[in-house]
Amino acid sequence: MGVVEKIKEIEDEMARTQKNKATEYHLGLLKAKLARYRAQLLEPATKSGGPGTGFDVQKSGDARVALIGFPSVGKSTLLSKCTHTVSESASYEFTTLTAIPGVIEHQGARIQLLDLPGIVEGASQGRGRGRQVVSTAKTADLIVIMLDATKSEEQRRLLEIELDAVGIRLNKRKPDIVFKRKTTGGITINNTVKLTKTDERTIRTILAGYKLHNCDVMIREDITTDEFIDVLIGNRKYIPCLYVYNKIDAISLEQVAKLAHEDHTVVISCEMNLNLDYLIERMWDDLGLVKVYTKKRGAHPDLADPVCLRKGATVEGKSSKFNPHAQKVGLNHVMQDEDVVSIFTK
């Protein structure tokens, strides 16, 4: 039995199993096995299983945004509208043929926008260049999921399933768990909060399934079994995501308003050029970029060429008496948007 068949068998068994307190232990075992098989499927041991031609796109600029969606949702059109890059496309159900990069210049930043080939159902198992698509998506600082506003919400659910299956966690942060391997001493599990979504027995079972018999585990939030497996595997990517609904010119105003009020959502029309500027502003906000202006001693800051950093980045520098707006910054100074810092050369 191949890996794909084993995955299907476990998924079927999980679907048949009722979720209650009595089955938590059994479901924990199944989830641990499923995570292991999915890792085997997507990360083959041989080099021949690596990414395909055309997906080795060098990361450039201040941030990377990956465009993901089913075929014919308007990704190629959005790329050309925002970056003036032509993406090879066709009128049928398979448009972009390879990964096409473009650059958005916004507020002094260069944001790489990467149009990935349309995902098909089963991409997480390698269908339709799925491995190449998702491996490239994992390198993004922001994922934009393009959706067709004229179609059902099933499209969004299917894309979330495919990305979740390959370890991409959308709009989530890494669970507050500290896991440390050791050579002896057995398993020690401590938690600072009450666990209501899993229990110690399930956690110990999962550890045994991964042949981990000596380790320390500190849990600092009320986690689920899936979240514990994510931390244990260690290769999950927690990436912010914007859901972009295209073709709003083809639906009613009531439908537009409903979609626009959903979390992490932007509504646009590529055909009518509606809301594209706002979409770029939302990308900027969700990327968490800030502009920092540098200045040399005795000179005014160069406001035309900012340095773009991520929120939370720290810099080391000194203040300058020549500019009252220059910041006194240290190694642990957290940069704010439009800070001015002095640079000194020896």
Could you tell me if 218 and 252 lie in one domain?
A: no
The confidence band for 167, taking pLDDT boundaries of 50, 70 and 90, is confident
The answer to whether the beta carbons of residues 12 and 206 sit under 8 Å apart is no
Query: ∠ CA 196-201-202 to the nearest 5 degrees?
Result: 70
The single residue listed with the structure tokens 């340095």 is 307
Tell me whether residue 217 is in a domain. Answer: yes
Name, in order, each residue with C-beta under 8 angstroms of 3's C-beta and a sequence gap of 6 or more: 37, 40, 41
What average pLDDT does this structure show over 297-311? 79
Burial 237-268 (b: 16+ CB within 10 A, else e): bebbbbbbbbbbeebeeeebeebeeeeebbbb
CATH code (residue 72): 3.40.50.300
**Residue 289: pLDDT band with limits 50, 70, 90:** confident
Number of separate domains in the chain: 3
Residues 13 and 99 in one domain: no
Please write the tens of the pLDDT for every residue from 40-97: 766 654 444 444 433 567 888 899 999 998 888 888 899 989 987 766 554 444 455 6
The C-alpha torsion from 244 through 249 and 255 to 258, rounded to 10°, is 40
Q: Are residues 85 and 164 in the same domain?
A: yes
Place of tokens 């209650």: 20
DSSP state of 269: B
Does residue 9 belong to any structural domain of this protein?
yes
Mind giving me the DSSP string for 156-221? HHHHHHHHHHTTEEET----SEEEEE-SSS-EEEEESS--SS--HHHHHHHHHHTT--SEEEEE-S
**Full-model pTM:** 0.80
Could you tell me if residue 55 is inside a domain?
Answer: no
Is 47 inside any structural domain?
Answer: no
**Quick check: is 50 in a domain?**
no
Domain end position, chosen among 264, 287, 310: 287
Same domain, 146 and 75: yes
Whole-number pLDDT of residue 342: 57
Q: How many CB atoms lie within 10 A of CB 304?
A: 7
Residue 54 located in a structural domain? no
